[in-house]
Structure formats: structure tokens, C-alpha cells
Amino acid sequence: MAETSEVVIIGGGLVGLSIAYHLAERGVRRVVVLEREAMWARGSSARSAGGVRLEFSHPSSIQFSQYGLAMFQNFEDLFGISASFNPCGYLFITREPQRWDAMKELASMQRTLGVPVETLAPDELHARYSYIHMPDVVGATFCGQDGVADPGAVAYGWMRRAQALGVEIRLNARVTEIAQSGGRVIGVVTQDGAVIHAPVVINAAGPQARFVGALAGLDLPVFPYRRSVYVTDAFSGLPSEIPMTLEFENTSYIRREGRSILMGMSDPLEPSSDNVDTDQASLEKLVGTVLSWVPALEQASIMRGWAGLYEVSPDDTAIIGEAESLSGFFYAVGFSGHGFMHSPAAGRVVAELVTGAAPFVDLAPFALERFRYQTTHETFVI
Ligand SMILES: Cc1cc2nc3c(=O)[nH]c(=O)nc-3n(C[C@H](O)[C@H](O)[C@H](O)COP(=O)(O)OP(=O)(O)OC[C@H]3O[C@@H](n4cnc5c(N)ncnc54)[C@H](O)[C@@H]3O)c2cc1C
């Protein structure tokens, strides 16, 4: 027998759970989250490095981060479980003069929005962070409000609160059809043939967002790319506290993970795929790159690693809104590696859109329609 719901959310990752919580908090009670796996938040959300930072190229992205940061800082008071936010700061380093000019310009814009970003000349950088060996560095930015939080705890906190407010989270429920009539969405069908009628359906399917969009006849340009992360054994050869430290040109980064060091890198030569295996070649590339600027890590041993999927849009910025061609079909997708830090605000703005409230942030930079005339690109991306 067909069921009826007010809202169906496709995807039980951080973004879907945040939307569910924010909707329920606004009084929308009949919300069902459909997750194809046997467990919620097992996709990209389970593989995140947990980074949270305020430095972005668009004011709207910065406001997204500010909302998320405040929520993570107060997560225990709000949800009864700590998000383990560690304000270790973010340090972005560049060797390219042109990029450095752009970073300084963006730092001015970021400061006007209250982001306490510092610009560091090479001698200041090396004096403050002596573990960095980069003779050709041209500059760096540091923001001490940024840090790292625990995505698993955040997902759990939202899931528990959403359920307490009446949201149903249904597992093993892959959506295979999105039903529509007269230009409106009217519900979904799952793999076991269950039909759920609903006037609002939300695509929060992470790296699978394009496939789910296609079920509604919509082309959402979101492509999965593998990203690998490795963790060393307990390592005392670096200071016990270091910022999330990222070098732009090779897109590699390191941070503390307890007494260990966590490191990652994006490989621009790797094509889009669903591959989430780690392999020796990517490990060797990462280690070689990181050792070139943090030579002390030569003494560390890799203990474990994992890979997951970034869900990448053409300009590395999320795509959020309601389909022009299908009323009632919303999407919050394409977070391009920022989906943990932006999931709180994504949940809030989608809940605002669905309930007819004005979004707290200008959503123009996230509009799907921007790709018709796109000219800008997020520059703070690793
Ligand atoms: C290695 C790595 C490091 C990262 N580091 C950071 C970081 O430091 N900071 C940061 O902000 N972000 C980071 N990210 C990105 C972040 O993890 C993602 O942007 C975020 O988790 C996306 O959440 P999501 O809910 O959209 O996707 P997911 O967690 O993938 O959730 C989507 C869900 O949809 C489900 N689904 C798909 N299709 C269907 C269907 N047809 N029916 C039902 N369910 C379906 C999937 O099973 C999945 O559970 C990182 C990602 C990776 C891989």
C-alpha cells in the first residue's frame, strides 16, 4: 500500500541528516530519509577528514562555514554529544606569486566578514612553523578559528534529534524512481517497490547525486572523484599541535590525528570514478609529495588509510535549490570536498526553501542555473 509523507529525503549522509533535523526543528514532522545502505552516514560522510574552515572565495560560502563552525563549537549543548571540535587553525601555503596575490585580496574580503585571517610572509611562516621546509614559498594565510571536528558524532547527533522530532530514517531503501505529474514531483519508488507519495523530494545523494537527479530528468553536474587519506603511527617528530597545513600547488595536507599525523592529497590526473580502494601507487605519490615539504615525516610509519569520494561540481561549489523544471524537487549536492563543514548550513537553507522562508544566505552562488553563464571558480580547494 502506498504511504504518504510531507518530505522525502534521498540520502542519509551528513547533508540528508542535517536537512532532516532542520526541517523537523522548523515543525515539519512527516519527513522520511531513504538511505540505500544498511547504515546511515556510511558514504562520503564516513570518510571525511573533518576539516572546518572559514576561508572561501564567495561570501555565501564563508557564511555557510560560519554557521557550521558555530554549531560544531556548541554541538554538545545543542545535541548532547560533543563534535570534538579542535580549533587547531588552517594554514594555506603557496609557492605561486599569482595565487598569493589572489589570496591576499581574498583575505581582505574575508576579514570584512569577520574572518580573522592572517597573511604570513615566508620568513614569518618558517619562524612560526619550523616543520615546514619550503625554500620557494611565497606566502601563507592562517585562520585560528578554523579546526577539525568529528563527522561521525555530528551525524549521530542530528540523526538522534531528527528521530526524536518524528523523522523516520529508513535503511536498505534505495530510490529507483521519482514520480512526477504536471511538472510537479509527487513521490518516489524504492527498490523493493514501496511507493511514498510526497509533494517534496530532496536529492542529498552525495557522489550519487547525478544519478538521482537523472531519475527526475535533471542534469546535475556532480562527479565522483577518489580522495585518499593516510594516518601514521604515534609520531613525536612534529610539534604536538599543528594547524591543518595545506600546500596548494600539490594539493597535499597534514594535520594531527591524536598523536598521529593524518595526511591527504588530491591527484588531478585521476579520472572520475566510484573507486574507493586505497592502493600503493597513490600512497607513494602522497608520501613523496608530503616529504618534499615536511621532511621530518621521513621517520614516521603509515599505519592505516582509507579512500572516499569527493562529489565535485564544475566550479567546486555546492549546487543547492529547487528544480526549475520540476516543482517540489530540491537538491543539496556537489559539495566538492566541503560537505562536512557546509552540511549544517545546507540543511538550514534547504529547510528554509522548503518551508517558504527566506534563506539566511544569498543562494545565487549555489544556483544550478549559474552554469549557464559561469565565470568564477572556488579557489580555496584541496
Ligand atoms: C577523503 C575525504 C576527505 C574529506 N575531508 C573533508 C573535510 O576535511 N571537510 C569537509 O567539509 N568535507 C570533507 N570531505 C567531504 C565530505 O565528506 C562530503 O562532502 C560529505 O560527507 C557529503 O555528504 P553527503 O551527505 O552529501 O554524501 P554521503 O555521505 O555520500 O551521503 C549520501 C548518501 O546517499 C545515499 N544514496 C545514494 N543514492 C541513493 C539512492 N538512490 N537511494 C537512497 N540513498 C542513496 C548513499 O548511500 C549515501 O549514504 C571529505 C571527503 C573525503 C572522501
Average pLDDT over residues 312-328: 97
Cα separation, 327 vs 322, in Å, equals: 7
User: Residue 376 pLDDT > 70, yes or no?
Assistant: no
Residues 6+ apart with CB under 8 A from 327: 183, 184, 185
Pocket of ligand 1 contains residue 213 by CB under 6 Å: no
Tens digit of each residue's pLDDT (9 = 90 or more) over 108-167 = 999 999 999 999 999 999 999 999 999 999 999 999 999 999 999 999 999 999 999 999
Q: Which residues contact 240 (CB under 8 A, 6 or more apart)?
A: 256, 259
Query: Is residue 337 within 6 Å of ligand 1 at its C-beta?
Result: yes
Kindly write down the DSSP assignment for every residue of 126-145, as one continuous string. HHH-TT---TT--EEEEETT
Q: Of the residues 44, 85, 190, which should be mutated to test ligand 1's pocket, given the most ligand atoms within 8 Å of the CB?
A: 44
- pLDDT tens digits, residue range 211-263? 999 999 999 999 999 999 999 999 999 999 999 999 999 899 999 999 999 99
Under the banding of pLDDT at 50, 70 and 90, the label for residue 19 is very high
Confidence of residue 372 (pLDDT cuts 50, 70, 90): confident
Please tell me the distance between residue 338's alpha carbon and the centre of ligand 1 in angstroms: 10
**pLDDT score at 248:** 93
Protein residue with least CA distance to atom 9, ligand 1: 51
Cβ of 335 closer than 6 Å to ligand 1, yes or no, is yes
Fold of 88-146+223-312: D-Amino Acid Oxidase; Chain A, domain 2 (3.30.9)
pLDDT band at 381 (very low <50, low <70, confident <90, very high): low
Residue 143 CB coordination number (10 Å): 22
User: What is the pLDDT, as a whole number, of residue 45?
Assistant: 97
Chain-centroid distance of CA 342 in Å reads 6
Q: Is the CB of 347 under 6 A from ligand 1?
A: no
CATH 3.50.50.60 residue spans of the chain = 3-50+151-222+315-372
Any atom of ligand 1 within 6 Å of the Cβ of 255: no
Atom nearest to 43 CA in ligand 1: 30
CA distance 358 to 379: 28
pLDDT, residue 382, reads 66
Nearest Cα neighbor of 48 from 72, 77, 19, 80 is 72
pTM over 0.95: yes
pLDDT digits (tens, 9 = 90+) for 254-293: 999 999 999 999 988 899 999 999 999 999 999 999 999 9
Q: Cα of 197 to ligand 1 centre, how many Å?
A: 26
Q: Look at the block and give the residue holding cell 561540481.
A: 313
CB of 155 closer than 6 A to ligand 1? no
Q: Which of 14, 17, 48, 255 to mutate to test the pocket of ligand 1 (most atoms within 8 A of CB)?
A: 48
Q: Is 43 in the pocket of ligand 1 (CB under 6 A)?
A: yes
96 lines ligand 1 (CB under 6 A): no
**pLDDT recorded at residue 374:** 61
CA of residue 311 to ligand 1 center, whole Å: 7
How remote is the CA of residue 182 from the centroid of ligand 1, in Å? 32
For the cut 80, the answer to whether the pLDDT of residue 380 exceeds it is no
In this predicted model, what pLDDT tens digit does every residue of 335-369 receive, in sequence order?
Answer: 999 999 999 999 999 999 999 999 999 999 999 99
Give, using CA atoms, the residue closest to atom 15 of ligand 1: 337
Closest Cα to atom 18 of ligand 1: 339
Residue having the nearest C-alpha atom to atom 33 of ligand 1: 11
Domain limits, CATH 3.30.9.10, in the chain: 88-146+223-312
Euclidean distance between CA atoms 202 and 355, whole angstroms: 13
Provide the CATH topology of domain 3-50+151-222+315-372: FAD/NAD(P)-binding domain (3.50.50)
Distance 298 CA to ligand 1 centre (A): 32
Is 80 exceeded by the pLDDT of residue 5? yes
Residue-level pLDDT at 2:
79
**b (16+ CB within 10 A) / e for 301-336:** ebeebebbbbbbbebbbbbbbbbeebebbbbbbbbb
d(CA 203, ligand 1 centre) in Å: 12
